């Protein structure tokens, strides 16, 4: 680039590069291209490609949290144990130095005899130093992260690139419920998670048996795990004992705690952006009640094909009945209602005109899965514009939204509202014809329509414009094109 030499000379520091494939980083610029072309990097890339191909061919494991998965890839594989020390602290009255041997005993019973790495991850400054010292001395690594469990996903992804491993997560955090599908494609899960009671069960099983064996085994330097390390993700601080044999466990622990208390660490921690509300909810324990905001925005997504307006009911009152239903539950914030689907085929035009005049927006889509596929994009857009705890309600008799998708949104802090049937909503008592008419007129002003077939995402207003558009020649040509692309013809 022209003038690049002049700009480089003004730069105060060299650029920083990191190769996640090889777990190697450097502050030097010139060695990056050389690193990408060396044989070591190429071998790592080939190993990564083979591992991913093998994982895709393996049978998928059940993710039912009530099923204890016991499929072991190899008893000699490395076993990774992530322990969320904030949400699952050492039980009161239990010796923290016995956490590692208790976990080791459990894994031995599961048939895992390979190398073991246990990592206590969390905001370690919130854990008493005497607990950390005992945990560290028993061979458990310490990893300090700024945001707690929400930082764990990147770490697990990093390990999945380098190892074909068994994985166990001891946590009571919501975030692991969202990660389940991703994790099972890269690891062999040794226990359902999140599971906050797992650590307590280890100590209970230990108290029922003879603990003398554990105390006898605890005389070695690292009797239960691989050589431990300590990391601070805030500052990039790392200490690996096998790098410097002059470090004893006590001296290494003192150096690590001194770093956490240092001014430079505190400055870097305070310079981080505040954690988002979504990550706050994901990091919170599962048993912590979700926050509700009755004045937050509420978005209702309606599938008129599977849940049509009940017979004998005035379509103009549809939006009003939804608003009254939410008001009876205390929700008073801004409300948007959107009908989604192949509206021109599935719903009579006079019904569409009625619901639109009552404040219901129209999103005309295409395809057999028009509702579910369009719903994905609309909810994603809603969550980007509205932080939790905002309110979402889906009116559909399909099973799509009621399972995994809704569960993930609830874990993120969004409040999912449910209704039994449209008949129950329409059966609510009226408040008077005059008041109803005034409310309907007010709601109709906010309604709009979208034709995803012709113009994705662009909003228009006026039902007369909508009816003219769907009967126009350009819309019909575009509609036919969609059908031809899917191998179907319009009947």
Q: pLDDT-based confidence at 43, cuts 50/70/90?
A: confident
Which of 229, 257, 283 is where one domain is finished?
283
Residues 6+ apart with CB under 8 A from 74: 114, 164
Which of 258, 283, 308 is where one domain is finished?
283
Residues 43 and 122 occupy one common structural domain:
no
Q: Is residue 155 part of a domain?
A: yes
Q: Is residue 113 part of a domain?
A: yes
Q: pLDDT-based confidence at 247, cuts 50/70/90?
A: low
Q: Is residue 161 part of a domain?
A: yes
The string of pLDDT tens digits covering residues 86-97 is 888 888 888 898
Q: Is residue 293 part of a domain?
A: no
For residue 206, the model assigns a pLDDT of 57
Q: Is residue 393 part of a domain?
A: yes
For residue 56, the model assigns a pLDDT of 34
Residues 44 and 68 occupy one common structural domain:
no
Residues 319 and 451 occupy one common structural domain:
yes
Residues 100 and 49 occupy one common structural domain:
no
Residue 1 has pLDDT above 70, yes or no: no
483, two tokens = 């059908």
The string of pLDDT tens digits covering residues 344-389 is 888 999 999 999 999 999 999 887 788 888 888 899 899 989 989 9
Could you give the number of structural domains in the chain? Answer: 3
For residue 242, the model assigns a pLDDT of 47
Which of 250, 283, 316 is where one domain is finished?
283
Tell me the pairing of strands 237-240 and 229-232.
antiparallel
Residues 265 and 335 occupy one common structural domain:
no
More reliable by pLDDT, 23 or 427: 427
* CA-derived radius of gyration, the chain: 29
Residues 6+ apart with CB under 8 A from 153: 175, 179, 182
Identify whether the C-beta of residue 78 lies closer than 8 Å to the C-beta of residue 117: yes
Residues 181 and 302 occupy one common structural domain:
no
Q: Is residue 272 part of a domain?
A: yes
Question: CA-to-CA distance for 48 and 382, rounded, in angstroms?
Answer: 36
Q: Is residue 260 part of a domain?
A: yes
Q: Share the mean pLDDT of the chain.
A: 75
Residues 338 and 443 occupy one common structural domain:
yes
Residues 257 and 319 occupy one common structural domain:
no
Q: Is residue 462 part of a domain?
A: yes
- In terms of average pLDDT, the best of 51-55, 197-201, 203-207 is 197-201
More reliable by pLDDT, 168 or 129: 129
Residues 136 and 36 occupy one common structural domain:
no
For residue 352, the model assigns a pLDDT of 94
Residues 372 and 469 occupy one common structural domain:
yes
Residues 68 and 168 occupy one common structural domain:
yes
Range of the domain at 315: 298-485
Task: Give 26's DSSP letter.
Answer: E
Residues 189 and 141 occupy one common structural domain:
yes
151: closest CA among 258, 256, 232, 266?
232
Q: Using DSSP, state whether 36 is helix, strand or coil.
A: helix
- In terms of average pLDDT, the best of 54-68, 286-300, 430-444, 474-488 is 286-300
Q: pLDDT-based confidence at 248, cuts 50/70/90?
A: confident
359, two tokens = 């404040």
């Amino acid at each position: 680039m022209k003038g690049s030499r002049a700009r480089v000379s003004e730069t105060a520091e060299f650029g920083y590069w990191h190769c996640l494939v090889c777990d190697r980083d450097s502050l030097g610029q010139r060695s990056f291209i050389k690193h990408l072309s060396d044989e070591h990097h190429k071998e790592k890339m080939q190993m990564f490609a083979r591992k991913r191909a093998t994982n895709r061919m393996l049978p998928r494991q059940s993710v039912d949290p009530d099923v204890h998965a016991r499929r072991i890839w190899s008893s000699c594989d490395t076993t990774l144990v992530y322990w969320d020390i904030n949400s699952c602290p050492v039980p009161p009255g239990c010796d923290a130095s016995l956490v590692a041997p208790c976990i080791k005993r459990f894994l031995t019973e599961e048939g895992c005899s390979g190398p073991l790495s246990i990592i206590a991850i969390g905001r370690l400054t919130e854990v008493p130093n005497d607990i950390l010292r005992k945990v560290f001395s028993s061979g458990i690594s310490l990893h300090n992260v700024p945001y707690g469990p929400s930082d764990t996903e990147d770490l697990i992804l990093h390990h999945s690139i380098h190892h074909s491993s068994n994985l166990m997560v001891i946590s009571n955090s919501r975030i692991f419920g969202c990660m389940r599908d991703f994790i099972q494609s890269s690891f062999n899960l040794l226990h359902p998670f999140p599971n906050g009671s797992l650590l307590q069960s280890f100590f209970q099983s230990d108290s029922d048996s003879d603990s003398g064996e554990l105390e006898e085994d605890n005389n070695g330097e690292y009797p239960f795990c691989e050589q431990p390390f300590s990391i601070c993700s805030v500052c990039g601080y790392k200490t690996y004992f096998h790098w410097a044999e002059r470090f004893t466990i006590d001296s290494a622990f003192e150096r690590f705690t001194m770093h956490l208390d240092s001014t430079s660490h505190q400055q870097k921690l305070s310079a981080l952006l505040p954690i988002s509300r979504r990550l706050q909810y994901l990091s919170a324990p599962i048993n912590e009640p979700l926050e509700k905001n009755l004045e937050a925005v509420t978005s209702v997504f309606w599938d008129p094909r599977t849940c049509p307006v009940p017979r004998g009911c005035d379509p103009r009152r549809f939006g009003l009945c939804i608003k009254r239903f939410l008001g009876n539950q205390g929700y008073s914030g801004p409300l948007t209602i959107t009908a989604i689907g192949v509206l021109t085929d599935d719903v009579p035009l006079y019904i569409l005109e009625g619901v639109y005049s009552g404040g219901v927006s129209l999103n005309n889509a295409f395809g057999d899965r028009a509702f579910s596929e369009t719903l994905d994009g609309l909810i994603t857009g809603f969550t980007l514009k509205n932080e939790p705890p905002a309110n979402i309600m889906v009116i559909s008799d399909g099973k799509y939204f009621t399972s995994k998708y809704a569960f993930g949104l609830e874990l993120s802090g969004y409040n999912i509202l449910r209704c039994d049937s449209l008949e129950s909503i329409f059966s609510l008592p009226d408040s008077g014809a005059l008041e109803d008419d005034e409310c309907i007129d007010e709601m109709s002003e906010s309604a709009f329509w979208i034709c995803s077939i012709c113009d994705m995402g662009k909003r228009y207003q006026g039902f007369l414009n909508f009816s003219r558009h769907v009967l126009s020649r350009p819309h019909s040509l575009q509609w036919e094109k969609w059908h031809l692309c899917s191998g179907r013809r319009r009947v």
